[in-house]
Amino acid sequence: MSLLKIDEEEVRKQQKEIIRELLEEDGLIGSLWKMDRMRIECGGKSAQWVREHICYHPHVIKNKLAFNTGTDWVFKARSIVEFLDIYFPDLAINWKQKGE
pLDDT in tens, 28-44: 666 888 999 999 988 89
Which pLDDT band, with edges at 50, 70 and 90, does 73 fall under? very high
| Whether the predicted pLDDT of 64 surpasses 90 | yes
Q: What percent of the residues of the chain are helix, what percent strand, and what percent coil, each to the nearest 5?
A: 60, 10, 30
| Whether the predicted pLDDT of 100 surpasses 60 | no
Is 60 in contact with 100 (CB distance < 8 Å)?
Answer: no
Percent of the chain with pLDDT over 70: 81
Stretch 12-27: mean pLDDT, rounded? 77
CA distance 55 to 44: 16
Please tell me whether residue 26 adopts helix, strand or coil conformation. coil
Residues 6+ apart with CB under 8 A from 42: 49, 50, 54, 84, 88
Stretch 66-93: mean pLDDT, rounded? 88
Q: What residues does 73 pair with on adjacent strands?
A: 68
